[in-house]
Amino acid sequence: MNIHTNGISLFYQVSGSGEPMLLLHGNGEDHQIFTELGAKLADHYTVYAIDSRNHGQSQKTEDYSYETMVNDIFGFIEELDLGPVDLVGFSDGAIIGLMLAMKEPMLIKKMALLGVNLKPEDFTEESYQFVKETYEETKDPLFKLMLEQPNIELEEVRKVVTPTLLIRADGDIFKPETYINLLATLPNATLKIMNDHDHASYISNQDMLYPHLMDFFGNN
């Protein structure tokens, strides 16, 4: 399905029944990374799996910024009169979820942030060099985005009282301190570490997060 919001067309897939839950994918992906997980969540929620602008079947634009993508999702929720919603965001989707909670705290009941970062400096040195070299070779604006954004100060997230589940892989592309600091700063956060996984391996085409998410969201 398509919806027009914030001046563009966003593609999304809806399934299930119950309270609304948004699934937001990461950089360079689309909603299909959540196919297996979404199918299970749809037994309990109305699941909206969205393609971000410049991804999947959503409209391509010249605007590559997290702030704009936050406004896209805000508009999506408003257009469909969904709020407040539960939200699961991976990587870029987690950044969008966190920034949305900072901007419009009443729109999100609970959120799971998978593989989130606050700044480009949160990359491990090896991961940052990979992103930098890939951008130099390809000039892909999605890689440029990761080199320049987001720019969220740790103190700015202290006001986010939304119950939050932080999830990171033990082999993530972001430094462990990122999550330690977030856990200490977010007032209502818990942390789950996925052992023997990299940034995306426990998410892409996987349903292994299902029991952890149900433990968290199922206590609404």
Checking if the pLDDT of 51 tops 60, the result is yes
pTM for this one? 0.97
Report helix angle 66-79 to 92-103, nearest 10. 70
The structure tokens 């892989």 sit at: 169
Q: State the average pLDDT for the chain.
A: 96
* Residue 20 confidence class, pLDDT cut points 50, 70, 90: very high
Mean pLDDT of 186-201: 96
Q: What percent of the chain clears pLDDT 90, i.e. is strictly above it?
A: 97
Mean pLDDT of 21-29: 97
Q: How high is the pLDDT of residue 67?
A: 97
Q: How high is the pLDDT of residue 83?
A: 81
User: Over the stretch 68-120, which tens digit does the pLDDT of each residue have?
Assistant: 999 999 999 999 999 899 999 999 999 999 999 999 999 999 999 999 999 99
d(C-alpha 193, C-alpha 214), whole Å: 16
Could you give the angle at the alpha carbon of 22 between the alpha carbons of 203 and 182, nearest 5°?
A: 65
Checking if the pLDDT of 219 tops 80, the result is no
User: Over the stretch 74-84, which tens digit does the pLDDT of each residue have?
Assistant: 999 999 999 89
B/e letters for 113-151, b = 16+ CB within 10 Å, e = fewer, are bbbbbbebebbeeebbeebbeebeeeeeebbebbeebbe
Q: How high is the pLDDT of residue 115?
A: 98
